[in-house]
Structure formats: structure tokens, C-alpha cells
Amino acid sequence: MTDRKGPVLVELDEAPQAGPAAAPPVPDLGPQPQGHAMQVVAALGARRPNRLAQLFWSALVALVGFAASLAAWEFVTGLLAANPILGWTAAILVGLVLVTLLLIALRELVAFSRLGKLDDLRREAEHAISARDLPAARRVADHLTSLYKGRADLALGREDLARRRDEVFDAEALLALTETQLLKPLDAAAKLQIEAAARQVATVTALVPIAFADIITALTANIRMIRRIAEIYGGRSGTLGAWRLTRAVMTHLVATGAVAIGDDMIGSVAGGSVLSKVSRRFGEGVVNGALTARVGVAAIEVCRPMPFSKGARPSVSGLVSRALSGLFGRPS
């Protein structure tokens, strides 16, 4: 053999390259945020009333009212006997208190009546859509126009609906036109209320370390949000009406499992923010904000006098993205 002069190429197996891609995954340091505050609020709102407790509190209120009435009567009659001027003054003040209580009761009754009217309109609209009943659809359009006749922000929509109403001869098309002209602006205002409530609940949960502060904030923010949504759609719920409406919304959410954290939307929101992976409180804030948005969407469905048309239902993930964008980082 002849000796070969020159460079010799020796092939070696490639050694694994060290880099970020070869690093093991970061272990999960704890359970995913569960939205504890909103879970408690939903449980409180959807809890079935105890009949025995209702009987006790009703009897206690009646007893206190009876005792107060007797005390006021004896107080006024005693003053009338001792000093007629002071007695008539006390009688007038007691009468003002009774008149005020009567006006408050009447306001609550009117609030319940308006909420019932929204329910009736929604059922009538659902019937018109399912039966393709044009006369029923025109009645729904007329009732909604009458309901919002005093709203200055819907003046242009009412005028356009009145001008085009008789030109539409299909029930579904007429209701779609009514929804566009009268309800779309109200939907936009309701979405702003949802975003504000979700932002408030998420911020307090993430930044305030005081015990029960997140639960109290979530409860008050959700009740206020539901009440304002009802007012936007013409419900104008009173104190008792707002609480009843809140119970109806929470009961629906609990019954359908909508406050559960295991679905894809809430999971993506909880895991999408970098801060939610670094801090559990920030993660809880994001999830509580997302659940608040879900409560708001359910409140819209309950208070809205018409069902949503196809593609018009608000997206919970979109509401959360707009509400929390720039707060904890945009959820992915």
C-alpha cells in the first residue's frame, strides 16, 4: 500500500447541543387558580332559602314592626294629651315615615312589574321567531318602541325602525331590524358595565391582600353590575328586585355548571397571562374577572327583552380580553 499524504477527515457522531429547547419543562408549582371569590359569591347567590329561617325572620320583622307601631302610637297620643302642638308635630313626622315606606314598597312593586314585562316581551319574541309570525313580530317591535320611547339615545333607531317597519314582510327580518336599531346600542352599554366590573374584581383580588376583601368586592360588584344591566334594558330593578335578579342569574350559572373552572375558555384565560403563572393572586384575579364577565353575559340574557340573533351573543373571552388588557398583560 502507498502512504497517502494530506488531511484526513474523521466523521464523529454529533453531540447533543445544549440550549433552551433541551431544557426540561418548568414543574407546576401549585394548583391552577380557581376563582375562589366568585365561587363563594355564586354559592351565596344560588343558595336555596331555608323555609324555617324565612319564617323566623318574617316573624321577627313583624314583631319588631308591631312593637314600633305601638310605641309610636303611645308616644304620639301621650304628646297630644300633654302638649297638642308637639303631639301634632310628632303625628306629622310619623305620617311622613309611613308615606315614605309606602312609596318604597310601591317602587319595588313597579320594579318587579317592569322585570316581568321584559320576561313577557322575550317570550313573545321567541314565539314570533319560532312560529315565523309576522303580526307577532310587529307587536314585539311596537312594544319595544313603546318601552324605549323616552330614551334619547335611541331616538334615531326608533325613527329608522318606524320608517322601515312596514317595508319588512318577514318576521325574522323584522326582529333582526328591531334588534339592530333598538338593542345593539344597549348591548354596547351593557358590555361596558361588564368590562368595568370584571376589571374591578380582578384588580382587588390581585392587589388587596386583606381577607374577604375579594369576596366582598366580587359580591358588591356583581350585584351592582346586574342592577345596572337591568336598568340599561329598561328593568330599573329596586333593591329587592336586584337581589332576586342576582339569585336568578347565579342559580342559572350554578345549574348549568358555568362557574366551573375546567372548561377551555376559563383555562386559557387563567393560563394565558404570564403574571398568573408567577403569582397565584394575579391568577385568581384573572379568573375572578373572567367569571364576573360570565355572570354579566348571563345577566344580559336574563334582562334582554329579545333573544340574541345568530352571532350577536357577547363573547366572554372577548370581554375579558378588553377588560384586562394592559392590567395583567393581554390574556392569550
Residues 6+ apart with CB under 8 A from 155: none
- What are the pLDDT digits (tens) for 137-169? 889 888 888 888 888 888 888 888 888 888 888
CA–CA dist 308, 241 (Å, integer): 23
Determine, yes or no, domain membership for 88.
yes
Determine, yes or no, domain membership for 223.
yes
pLDDT score recorded for residue 330 = 47
Confidence of residue 43 (pLDDT cuts 50, 70, 90): low
Determine, yes or no, domain membership for 221.
yes
Looking at the chain, how many residues does it have? 332
What's the whole-number average pLDDT of the chain? 76
- What are the pLDDT digits (tens) for 315-332? 777 887 787 775 655 444
| Eight-state DSSP code of residue 8 | -
Task: Calculate mean pLDDT across residues 301-313.
Answer: 80
Residue 22 scores a pLDDT above 50: yes
Sign (positive or negative) of CA dihedral 292, 303, 318, 257: positive
Determine, yes or no, domain membership for 258.
yes
Confidence of residue 96 (pLDDT cuts 50, 70, 90): very high
Task: Calculate mean pLDDT across residues 283-302.
Answer: 83
Number of domains, the chain: 1
Burial of 161 (0-12, 13-18, 19+ CB in 10 A): buried
Nearest to 147 by CA among 157, 136, 133: 157
Higher pLDDT, 19 or 86: 86
Task: Calculate mean pLDDT across residues 16-37.
Answer: 55
- What are the pLDDT digits (tens) for 53-77? 778 888 888 889 888 888 888 888 8
Determine, yes or no, domain membership for 44.
no
Determine, yes or no, domain membership for 31.
no
The residue range of the domain holding 255 is: 56-324
Determine, yes or no, domain membership for 314.
yes
pLDDT score recorded for residue 311 = 63
Task: Calculate mean pLDDT across residues 31-46.
Answer: 58
Residue 190 scores a pLDDT above 50: yes
Residue 300 scores a pLDDT above 60: yes
Contact 287, 105 (CB under 8 A): no
pLDDT score recorded for residue 153 = 83
pLDDT score recorded for residue 332 = 43
Q: Which amino acid is at 63?
A: L
Sign (positive or negative) of CA dihedral 287, 289, 201, 39: negative
**Overall pTM surpassing 0.85 (yes/no):** no
Determine, yes or no, domain membership for 98.
yes
